[in-house]
Amino acid sequence: MPFATKLPPAPEPPAILKPAGNRVTVSQEPKQKKKENSVKTSPQRPPQILNTVVQSNVSLDSTCSSDSNSSTKKVKPATATVASRRNVKRNGFKPVRVVPDAVDVATVLPPLKRCEWITPNSDPLYTAFHDEEWGVPVDDDRKLFELLVFSQALAEHRWPAILNQRDIFRKLFENFEPSSVAQFTEKKLLTLKINGNSLLSEPKLRAIVENAKQLLKVQQEFSSFSNYCWRFVNHKPIRNEFRYGRQVPVKTPKAEVISKDMMRRGFQCVGPTVVYSFMQVAGLVNDHLLTCFKHHKCKVTTKNEFKTEVKENNETSEMTINNDRRSFN
């Protein structure tokens, strides 16, 4: 057996430097075990690179496991959708979508602009009366009679006081049914009191009863009190365009014409001022100021406008037919 010569040991391979640091890779080095935490860095890494890694890991999902490998797998930022899906898997409940509370419209929208005689200190009943009734066309006889009585009462009371006693007025005057009021006796008038005080002066009370009687006569002649009133304005509201309250008149030539005709028929306490107040509240004239939101909303025609047109057409047709029959006979 020959003598075995001892060979010199093989030289070690040179070290290879990587751009990320002075990490040495040796060909004979055994494979590394499974990498540890993603935030773990080698002691040779410079401080600047360590700070970059720490800052990038701040945005990661806090619920991610500590044993995930951040160097090989990118982790997306956590969102409400992902969290809700995880809650479904864990708890078995569907995610609840959080909806913000509804915004109060009253706190956002500016207050409505009304006629200048309606102020923030006005009686709420008076404000509601302005918004819902004053200037709105009326074609109901019972309602028109009520508004005529209120217009007469304005000589002794103001609108807020009348509106606060409106239910009492309706109770004492039989809900302003003209046929019932027309039957009031002198004794009945003396009982129309509130806490011992008369509701209105005696001349006004007598005038209301007399006006109820004359209203019944007007109904027989014109088929309704509404037709009688609206024919003075051609069954269309008079639309004024006043910008300031001082421009609104207390009476007009049209009110004087109506007043004279009503007094000629036997109505009492119906002067031009009372009649014009009645025209305003019954909607025969629209005196809402241009800056008031009701000025445009009151621009509507009355039902009687259409009823009168149909009635006139029917009467014309009947007259034509009757004349033809007479000429034929």
Residue 130 annotated as part of some ligand binding site: yes
Residue 288 annotated as part of some ligand binding site: yes
b/e for 103-117, b at 16 or more Cβ within 10 A? eeeeeeeeeeebbee
Query: Could you give the angle at the alpha carbon of 296 between the alpha carbons of 293 and 300, nearest 5°?
Result: 135
Burial (Cβ within 10 Å: 0-12, 13-18, ≥19) of residue 265: middle
**Of the candidates 157, 154, 304, 135, the residue with the CA atom closest to the CA atom of residue 228:** 304
**Of the candidates 206, 309, 221, the residue with the CA atom closest to the CA atom of residue 265:** 221
Distance CA 324, CA 326 (A): 5
Tell me the longest C-alpha to C-alpha distance in the chain. Answer: 166
Distance CA 60, CA 301 (A): 69
Residue 235 annotated as part of some ligand binding site: no
Residue 292 annotated as part of some ligand binding site: yes
Distance CA 75, CA 61 (A): 8
Distance CA 36, CA 306 (A): 91
Binding residues for Zn(2+): 115, 130, 288, 292
Binding residues: 115, 130, 288, 292
